[in-house]
Chains A and B, each alone.
Chain A
Amino acid sequence: MTEGKTKMTIRHHVSDQLLMAYSAGQLPEAFGLVVATHLSMCDECRARAGAFDAVGGSMIERCGTIAMDDGSLDAVLARLSGAPEPRPEPRRRKGLFPTPLADVIGGDLDAVKWRPIGMGVRQAILPMAKDASARLLHIPAGQAVPDHGHRGMELTLVLQGAFRDESDRFGPGDLEIADEEMEHTPVAEAGADCICLAATDAPLRFNSLMPRLLQPIFRI
């Protein structure tokens, strides 16, 4: 799998809009998870994210100053009892899932608690803050996922296999960004089963009682 990272050709990347929101710390946790997972697979976007962080650095330099309280420096100096912590072992993936995802699941593919949702498709809802939801999808090779629209924004990151829809082909590391206008019928390619990480902020849009009642059934 370590080999896969360099061989992988990623064609669909994180948008500037999403990267800026991620850098600014403004993404719901579920979207942040998808972005962090993509960045783990894509040096190009990692570098772009670094550039957006540099914009934040510039904000720190240019946002003015507010004096610290008296004795503030001494208080912090008193906390620095020892040497800086040694550099920890790098967090590195052990299987299919990059570490941001493996951390949420508590393991790799074999730790996922799948539930069937019909037509051979399985999903696992991940524990996330309530402002957006995330799930893993397992789609058998060759299988279509029923036609579906989107209520909010939906991010779909391919981890294994590939799918095609009306717009393009998405392979490992590719990120599809779908908005409400998009209706599509993704079909998993032949070969390996397709495993994706998907996140949506759709539940945010539900203000009426009915969808609230339905949400626990679909959980997405």
Chain B
Amino acid sequence: MTAEDSEGNWVPAMLAIRDRQDRAAFADLFRHFAPRVKAFLIKSGMSPALAEECAQDVMATLWQKAHLFDPERASVATWVFTIARNRRIDALRRAKRPEPEDLPWGPEPEPDQADAFEMQQETDRLGKALAQLPEKQRALIERAYFGDLSHTEIAEETGLPLGTIKSRIRLALEKLRHHMS
């Protein structure tokens, strides 16, 4: 029995870390995500030793920053990606990525389960849509995310199917604004 439910939803594990400092839930997340983060970082040009070190840092950050995770705006995989990306910039370029200002309203303490679930579903749909892109296009997008393309090399028309996931994030932003004002 792991903290991942039958739908591949890691949100309960993240909330268990945030609310109960649940180490077993963390161990489940680690077993799933750490080897993926390590592979991502190696594909991004890191040595295996550095990738190991950075993947450990990414997972530790997942615990430390658990309060910043907002399941209505991102899946756990997406959140892991943003932490890994920032760690990569820090390690390879010794720089920090400028981050947007925080919203004045943070993640809700009790996220709406249906909305959070929808967000995870949306991410899964996006993944499937990406997998069905023509090989050439998919390879280009992968290279971009592995840091193998400069910003000038990234094609104008990516053709990414982002419509519904964008709308869902937009709705989550509006909902937060409405709740807090």
Contacts and interface: CB of A to CB of B under 8 A. Distances in A.
Contact of A57 (B81, B141, B155, B170): B81
Nearest to B107: A87
Residue of B17, B81, B101 with highest tally of chain A CB at under 10 A: B101
Given A64-B39, A77-B26, A51 B169 contact: yes
Interface string A19-50: 01101111111011101110110011011111
A33 B96 CA distance: 10
A24 B144 contact: yes
Interface string B78-107: 111110111011000101011111111011
5 contacts: A50-B169, A51-B160, A57-B81, A63-B142, A83-B21
Interface band, chain A: 35 or more
Contacts of B174: 43
Nearest to A43: B173
Interface of B: 17-18, 21, 23, 26-27, 30-31, 33-40, 42-43, 48, 51-52, 55-56, 59-60, 63-68, 73-75, 77-82, 84-86, 88-89, 93, 95, 97-104, 106-107, 122-123, 126-127, 130-131, 141-142, 144-147, 149-152, 154-158, 160, 162, 165-167, 169-170, 173-174
Contact of B39 (A63, A92, A100): A63
A22 to B, nearest CB: 8
B63 A58 contact: no
Contact of B40 (A31, A46, A60, A104): A60
B27 to A, nearest CB: 6
A148 interface: no
B151 A18 contact: yes
A99 B118 CA distance: 31
Contact of A58 (B79, B126, B173): B126
B163 to A, nearest CB: 8
A52 B21 CA distance: 30
Contact of A54 (B43, B74, B102, B131): B74
B35 A68 contact: yes
B98 A26 contact: no
Contacts of B63: 80, 84
A55 to B, nearest CB: 6
A17 B78 contact: no
Contacts of A36: 97-100
Given A35-B98, A40-B101, A73-B30, A21 B145 contact: no
Contacts of A37: 98, 100
A26 B27 contact: no
